[in-house]
């Protein structure tokens, strides 16, 4: 299908990249974290605190598996790969792109671990979550793109280019999708988005 699904650790920029990518390609954008919060009427961290990690992962799975869309960039939470049903559905929805970031870079971007809405089991730290999830991201992804040390505009262009190489454009054309013409983000637009990412990292998973 003609969707692009961005996966990766908290702080890898899934939501920020997703918004700009969707605008660049003339697609819709869905943030699964926001979908969960809207459905449950509570913030992610509140859901984890009240219901526990396993129940939260079930809620996330249900939200992901409810998605039936075309021409959409989807940004699920970092724990999206923790349920097999979620992985299978994401791969069926479209091209899954893993935004790969080193543990050092992840740690440097996350400063509010206890309140960020990350699915941490009791006793787990960021390194534990990283070591557990990375093999799951790698198995789930059709494409892996390292994103450390590059600008937002560079990441968006790499995602677009690699998806095209995999035949995403052809899949979109054969699906009969109608979208706005593709555009590349301007320097000023990319700069604004990077500033927004810097200001709002505490809201991203």
Q: Is the pLDDT of residue 200 over 70?
A: no
Domains, the chain, in order of start with CATH, read 3-166 (3.40.50.300)
**Tens digits of per-residue pLDDT, 20-36?**
999 999 999 999 999 99
Per the prediction, the chain carries an average pLDDT of 85
Buried b (16+ CB within 10 A) or exposed e, 182-195: eeebeeebbeebbe
For the chain, the helix, strand and coil percentages under 3-state DSSP, each to the nearest 5: 55, 10, 30
Instruction: For residue 189, report the phi and psi dihedrals to the nearest 5 degrees.
Output: -65, -45
**Tens digits of per-residue pLDDT, 105-148?**
999 988 777 667 788 887 888 999 999 999 999 999 999 999 99
**Tens digits of per-residue pLDDT, 40-74?**
999 999 999 999 999 999 999 999 999 999 999 99
Say if CB 10 and CB 116 are below 8 A apart: yes
Q: Is the pLDDT of residue 190 over 70?
A: no
Per DSSP (E only), the strands in 17-78 are 28-31, 72-75
Which uninterrupted H or E stretch holds 5? strand 3-7
Say if CB 76 and CB 136 are below 8 A apart: no
In this prediction, residue 114 carries a pLDDT of 67
Q: To 10 degrees, what angle do helices 44-51 and 32-40 make?
A: 60
What integer is the mean pLDDT of 145-165? 94
Highest mean pLDDT among 83-97, 100-114, 162-176: 83-97
Q: How far apart are CA 195 and CA 112, in angstroms?
A: 18
In this prediction, residue 173 carries a pLDDT of 63
The model's confidence at residue 104, banded by pLDDT at 50, 70 and 90, is: very high
């Amino acid at each position: 299908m003609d969707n692009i699904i961005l996966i990766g650790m908290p702080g890898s920029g899934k939501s920020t990249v997703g918004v700009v990518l969707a605008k660049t390609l003339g697609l819709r954008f869905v943030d699964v974290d926001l979908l969960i919060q809207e459905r449950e009427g509570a913030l992610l961290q509140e859901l984890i605190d009240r219901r526990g990690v396993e129940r939260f992962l079930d809620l996330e799975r249900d939200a992901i598996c409810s998605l039936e869309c075309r021409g959409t960039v989807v940004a699920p939470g970092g724990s999206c790969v923790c349920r097999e049903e979620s992985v299978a559905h994401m791969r069926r929805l479209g091209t899954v792109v893993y935004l790969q970031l080193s543990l050092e870079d992840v740690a440097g971007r996350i400063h509010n671990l206890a309140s960020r809405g990350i699915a941490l089991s009791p006793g787990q730290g960021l390194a534990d979550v990283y070591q557990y999830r990375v093999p799951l991201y790698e198995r789930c992804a059709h494409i892996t793109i390292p994103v450390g040390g590059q600008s937002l505009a560079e990441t968006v262009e790499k995602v677009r280019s690699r998806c095209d190489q995999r035949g995403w454009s052809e899949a979109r054309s054969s699906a009969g999708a109608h979208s706005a013409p593709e555009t590349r983000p301007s320097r000023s637009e990319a700069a604004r988005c990077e500033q927004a990412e810097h200001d709002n990292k505490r809201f991203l998973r």
